[in-house]
Structure 1
Amino acid sequence: MGGYHRGETAVQERAGSARQAGQARGAIGNTVPDVAVAFLAQQSHLVAGATDEQGRIWATQLTGEPGFLTVPGPHTLRIGTLPPPEDPLAALLTGAGAGAGTGSGWGASPVPIGLIGIEPATRRRMRMNGRAVRDGDGLRVELDQVISNCPKYIQKRDHHPAAATPVPRTAVDSTELSPAQQRTLRAADTFFVATASDRGDADASHRGGNPGFVQVLSPRLLRWPDYAGNAMFLTLGNLELNPAAGLFVPGWETGTSLHLTGSARTVWAEEEVARTPGAQRLVEFEITAVREVASASPLRWSAPAYSRFNPPTAA
């Protein structure tokens, strides 16, 4: 559980960070520390990533009142909510496990899932990967990995509930970005990316930077810099073995969620990388499907205080 798979070690070696990655391995466990139990109990949202029935990877957000995340055992996380019907992972997670909807315990087919608990107000986050089944009105996740992450590139934000009469939740699907969605991405300072290994083990990760760090090359092609991190390369390691990926872009002020699925590749070419300030590598993402959900989240967030670690963006 604390080891790296061959895709991760291949990227670590190519990046020249194998030694640093070996030192970071100690941050990977499969139990939730007491301090993390308390952290999760305070959260109102959780980011999740998984592969749907068509083999597409999506990332999304689950929300609830503080206390909707509980740790009934050191290897188990219970999530006291399910995604709404408009969510791209609703069908998968609502039906997870053979005993779906019964609360009867582990089913025959648990769903690999990657999770991030993140608290922008304090720039704290933790990453959890495991296998989920439906458990009554929520999910139960048996954890394979619990990972401590640093606060780099997290923009500080506080949240509050939406107005009492929100806009009705609606979903719009397409195969490419609309002009408005392209503007959203060009202005984004945060997104989340879900990937999976060639064995299907899921992971979800945070990406942050100053507005403009996400480059929209066309309605179906994005590029972003890979900044210095913890040297584990869990995301790029998965992409080394399986190019499928999914992005979730939160609408902090509106509650709208933008979900993208497609394939990604790492760009190592030094000349290309050098044109993007702070980049150690680049990632290109080709979109195959888009879903935008209005009023997906009941939370609204304050204007960001940008991380001091964010590199400048290219002019």
Structure 2
Amino acid sequence: MAARYKPTVRYLMQVEVHVYAFSMAANVLLSFFPFLIVMVSLCRYLLEWRAAEEMIFLALRDYIPDPMGAFVERNLRATVASRGPFQAVSVLLLLYTANGIFEPLEVALNRAWGIPANRSYFRNQLISLGLIFVCGGLALASAVLAAVNQEVWARLGLLGPRWTALVALTAFKTAMVPALILLLVLVYWILPNGRIPARPLVPAAIVVGLLLEALKYVIVLVWPWLRRKLEMEYGPFVYSVTIVLWAFLASMIVLAGAEWAARSHRQLEPGAAGPIADGARKPIDSNLNQTV
């Protein structure tokens, strides 16, 4: 069993992989709050659905322990209320910084699958933009489904407010984990600059999705001790550093899943040709270079 995962451990110890993960983590820090602003604004001003909005805050409190969770929620509520429905700056920041997450991730996925060429900057931005909308859509759909569940139980009146909120949070988690796994499959499949076989991606995405969910509970468990240590070292930057560290660990798990999927494909189908880079699908006809 240990020999099966030893190559993945060696992969995670490479300096290049740490560069990718830290680059992704830095852009997660930059895109985290704009993403929340856009999501809450959509629920409040476009959908005009306070239950879905409160579901986002409920999920935020579940994912981020106090006092950091309370700090983020308080500032998020104040920011959305003060800016109104038009969040152009937040949308632009989200698009730019979220694209920064997918740039190093594409390079890392190409390396894992042995694809020599990366996409051009413009093509990477287009693919990243589509994945951003998919990510936001899945998160919003999970919040909406959980809000519907909460409203149904509230109207039935069978449960008290605390149990209704607990059922709603459970419904959100139940919807969010499959949504996360689906997003991982799409990222692993679409983002590399080549034709990636879908078969090895599904088990890798399931394992990575469950590990990311488990990471959340580990963070909650060690947060009191970790916060004291980080406050002593980073002072007022403790929350920013915390987001970067969490995002780095999550990025390492995502990259490990990609390496595992690629290696499993090579082991199960050693005679397969492997992924084909988009830029190498068609040979260049030398006659095209001739002038008439």
Shorter-chain TM-score: what band?
Answer: under 0.3
TM-score of the superposed pair, with normalisation by structure 1: 0.26
- Larger strand proportion of the pair: 1
Higher Rg of the two aligned structures: 2
Which structure has the higher relative contact order (CA within 8 Å, separation 6+)? 2
TM-score of the superposed pair, with normalisation by structure 2: 0.27
